Amino acid sequence: MIEILNPAEVARARSAGALVADVLQQLRARSTPGTNLLDLDRAAATLIAEGGGRSCYVDYAPSFGRGPFGHHVCTAVNDAVLHGRPHDRLLADGDLLTLDLALTVDGIAADSAISFVVGETAPAESLALIAATERALAAGIAAARPGARTGDISHAIGTELGRAGYAINTQFGGHGIGSTMHQDPHISNTGRPGRGYRLRPGLLLALEPWAMADTAELVVDDGDGWTLRSATGCRTAHSEHTIAITDDGAEILTLPRPPRP
């Protein structure tokens, strides 16, 4: 299903996006060495409820996961890149952590992910990997405008990831979003320009470039049946924003708000 939102629904999407961004920033501030991933999940549950939102993840049970996800935020550490299921693990200085969050406010969803290094130790390779996904996300957003096609976005993302030297996995990518978290169209992280669905105002998309340092192959964690890891054990990164296509281009709905003075 491809859903085109009306102005009132886009306004609700802005509220959802603002809450996603705020919760992610609060969770990032709590992600210090010694923090347990389960504590981050509990904090996410509280913050979402206080903001009037509802998690998209707790009851989520797609064909590629082992039963309902059962948690409120994805926590992917080091070699984990997608669908990181929170578990009893303490963060360490220098860990590369991705937080991925989707929620609804008044029935409309927003989805975003951030990657960062925990603590004071910041390996250059990890920072380069994160920066590449952030540049690819910016390139994809710049390509998203009325009349463009999904392939234009995919091409922009793939060009940036390829320029940085990373292989690209096409099993998972961006997607439409609206009254449900995952909708058509699929937005691959590489593709051919001029192909695919034509973008129009009212369309919401979650763009999510992700990369692994030295492989394009994923493996599923045998323990939880959810977490996707790099096949070689290398580090990974993932950046995501929800955008709305408007008459003037792409509006980013999940940008963090500037701190209050």
Q: What is the pLDDT of residues 12-56, one digit of tens each?
A: 999 999 999 999 999 999 999 999 999 999 999 999 999 999 999
81 DSSP assignment: E
CA–CA separation, 84 and 97 (whole Å) = 10
Helices within the chain (DSSP H only): 7-30, 37-50, 124-143, 150-163
- pLDDT for 79 equals 98
In Å, the largest CA–CA distance within the chain is: 48
| pLDDT band at 1; cut points 50, 70, 90 | confident
Tokens 């550490």, located at residue: 77
Tokens 């991705």, located at residue: 98
- pLDDT for 258 equals 72
Under a CB-based contact definition with an 8 Å cutoff, are residues 185 and 150 in contact?
Answer: yes
Find the helix packing angle between 150-163 and 124-143, rounded to 10°.
160
- pLDDT for 259 equals 61
- pLDDT for 53 equals 98
- pLDDT for 257 equals 81
Residue 138 to residues 39, 69, 119, Cα–Cα distance (Å): 31, 29, 26
| pLDDT band at 260; cut points 50, 70, 90 | low
Element counts in the chain: helices (H) and strands (E): 4, 14
Span 157-179, average pLDDT: 97
Residue type for position 38: L
Instruction: Tell me what the pLDDT averaged over the chain comes to.
Output: 97
Residue 56 to residues 60, 89, 96, 108, Cα–Cα distance (Å): 7, 23, 24, 10
Span 168-194, average pLDDT: 97
Span 213-241, average pLDDT: 97
Q: Is 261's pLDDT higher than 60?
A: no
The β-bridge partners of 21 are none
Q: Is 71's pLDDT higher than 70?
A: yes
Under a CB-based contact definition with an 8 Å cutoff, are residues 77 and 83 in contact?
Answer: no
Q: Which two tokens stand for residue 148?
A: 């463009």
| pLDDT band at 228; cut points 50, 70, 90 | very high
Residue pLDDT, tens place only, 49-64: 999 999 999 999 998 8
Tokens 């969050």, located at residue: 101
Residue pLDDT, tens place only, 117-155: 999 998 999 999 999 999 999 999 999 999 999 999 999
Backbone conformation region of residue 119, classed left if phi is above 0, alpha if psi is from -120 to 50, else beta: left
CA–CA separation, 61 and 76 (whole Å) = 18
Residue type for position 249: G
